[in-house]
Amino acid sequence: MKIHFIINPKSGRKGALRLLPVIEEFSRTYKLSSTIALTQGPGHATTLAREAVNQGFERIVAVGGDGTMNEVAQALLHQNSALGLLPCGSGNGLARFLKLPTSPIEALKIATSKNSYIKKIDTGSVNGLPFFNVMGLGLDADVSRRFNLLPKRGLPSYTKAAIQAFIGRKTEHCDIQCDGNAYPLDILLISIANSNQYGNGAIIAPNALVDDGLLDLIAIKPIGIMGALSLASKLFAGTIDKSVFVKRIEGRRFNIQRAQPGLIHTDGESHDTGALVKVEIISSSLRIAC
């Protein structure tokens, strides 16, 4: 089996490049037919993965966080090549949902083995941009923007970005259409989840599954500091959907009309987009080694 590793050197708090010698030694030990490429900037992982698909690689392993996973997975949609994950980012939401090991060696065994279970999962699309774990708008997107500007990665930096974004929070009115139903809401943020978590055990959509043909929309209504502290505890307890400040909507397609254009994020990467945010699920569109 031909295996191609794509490493994002800037992923994670310690940097994914530290895993290069681990991957090289693992490949020699297990006599893998493998090659390695390093990304050089945004979007490069998608180009590298697309080239690997065209060259007949059967397993393409993303070495990095959710952003790296997103870029690699974009090239694997509806392809026979399967995605492998060596998670070493700040959150690793999809990898955690799939219960992939945190040990690099154990993760490598799953990512590269012929005997790994190849699971078909759903993916999402928002205004034409793919996402595989979670997308969001409002405060959710502002946190991602702030976090991506920080020099250090990891949960402490994410917490810092979240506090800064909350201090400057704004309420938006959104008209949400889902599968023929209308939901006018004033929101602080909206997350639309394929898996159940952002990463680091922050469970934003406790009922979400990656293979049920549905997306989970979690809308958080305007809240103050005490409400935010209560929600934060519920986020890590996996009970955020039980809060009176939360509206959960399950569906295949969402049209979210905002008052004006603004930010969204896809798997933690920020984008400017229009006032109308169109989200849909693409069922069973990605093969991934589990």
In a domain, 142, yes or no: yes
Q: What is the pLDDT of residue 89?
A: 80
8 shares a domain with 103: yes
What share of the chain has pLDDT > 70, as a percent?
Answer: 97
Picking from 72, 88, 116, the residue at the C-terminal end of a domain is 116
pTM of the model: 0.93
In a domain, 106, yes or no: yes
Picking from 92, 116, 140, the residue at the C-terminal end of a domain is 116
72 shares a domain with 138: no
85 shares a domain with 138: no
105 shares a domain with 23: yes
133 shares a domain with 102: no
Residue 219 has pLDDT above 70, yes or no: yes
Domain of residue 77, residue span: 2-116
- Token match 């989200």: residue? 279
Residue 150 has pLDDT above 90, yes or no: no
In a domain, 289, yes or no: no
Residues 80-118 pLDDT 10s:
999 999 998 878 999 999 999 989 999 999 999 999 999
Residues 125-149 pLDDT 10s:
999 999 999 999 998 888 888 877 7
Residue 154 has pLDDT above 70, yes or no: no
250 shares a domain with 152: yes
CATH number for the domain harbouring residue 213: 2.60.200.40
Q: What is the pLDDT of residue 102?
A: 87
Q: Residue range 278-283: average pLDDT?
A: 98
In a domain, 76, yes or no: yes
Average pLDDT, the chain: 92
CATH number for the domain harbouring residue 107: 3.40.50.10330
Picking from 116, 140, 164, the residue at the C-terminal end of a domain is 116
In a domain, 288, yes or no: no
99 shares a domain with 58: yes
Residues 250-280 pLDDT 10s:
999 999 999 999 999 999 999 999 999 999 9
Residues in CB range of 247: below 8 A, 6 or more apart: 183, 185, 217, 218, 219, 221
Q: Identify the weakest region by mean pLDDT among 48-62, 146-160, 248-262.
A: 146-160
In a domain, 123, yes or no: no
Angstrom distance (rounded) from CA 155 to CA 270: 18
195 shares a domain with 88: no
200 shares a domain with 247: yes
98 shares a domain with 63: yes
143 shares a domain with 43: no
Q: What is the pLDDT of residue 12?
A: 66
In a domain, 62, yes or no: yes
In a domain, 290, yes or no: no
134 shares a domain with 12: no
**Domains held by the chain: number:** 2
Q: Tokens for 116?
A: 């790994």
Q: Identify the weakest region by mean pLDDT among 3-7, 78-82, 167-171, 216-220.
A: 167-171
